Amino acid sequence: MTKIIGITGGIASGKSTVVEEIRRSGYKVIDADAVVHDLQAKGGKLYQALVGWFGQDILMADGQLDRIKLSQEIFSSSENLAKSADLQNQIIRQELAEQRDCLAETEEVFFMDIPLLIELDYQAWFDQIWLVYVDEDTQIKRLMERNGYNLDQAHARIATQMPFPEKKKYASLVLDNNGSLEDLKKQVHTALQKV
């Protein structure tokens, strides 16, 4: 019986570092963001749906999606955010399910990295859910450094996600990333030994 473990967190929580360590340990990880990126590539299913909705304004000169403009459009209103979620989630869920079923045929244990795992109700897919946790002050600081956001922009992005105390209720394991990088890596390796 295949064991599937979901990994989630919040923006700037350190989830990418956790995924990197898991991969380095030899496990396969389906990365939802990478799947979305492929679906949004020129000609992809999401690309077609998004251009159909927002028009040519969200394209760069080479015809690829302008991710900055797209992000601005999506986050410009709660209506756009909701519509974008509906439009994209169905296509993404279908693709993720296909990739999951494919890996389940060959792997005893594998992981799926889904940023909005809980918000989008993927819990039933997993035997365990690992949450990469960080406190809000650290999250805001990292988001401002990493993305060049000002304080208001950082707060606005974080506000679109479920708060960590809510997410913790769904987690089988919490990886605390308020400490050092080495500390986080140790937690990951301890968790992998128990898998």
As annotated, the binding site for ATP includes 12-17
Instruction: Enter the tokens of residue 163.
Output: 């708060």
By the 8 A CB rule, do 85 and 2 touch?
no
* Residue 77 tokens, joined: 């209103």
C-alpha neighbours within 13 Å on the C-beta side of residue 43? 1
Please tell me whether residue 25 adopts helix, strand or coil conformation.
coil
CB 118 within 8 A of CB 10: no
Q: Which residues are annotated as a binding site?
A: 12-17
Compute CA distances 126 → 31, 38, 69, 162, 164, whole Å: 15, 23, 34, 19, 19
Q: Are 2 and 110 in contact (CB under 8 A)?
A: yes
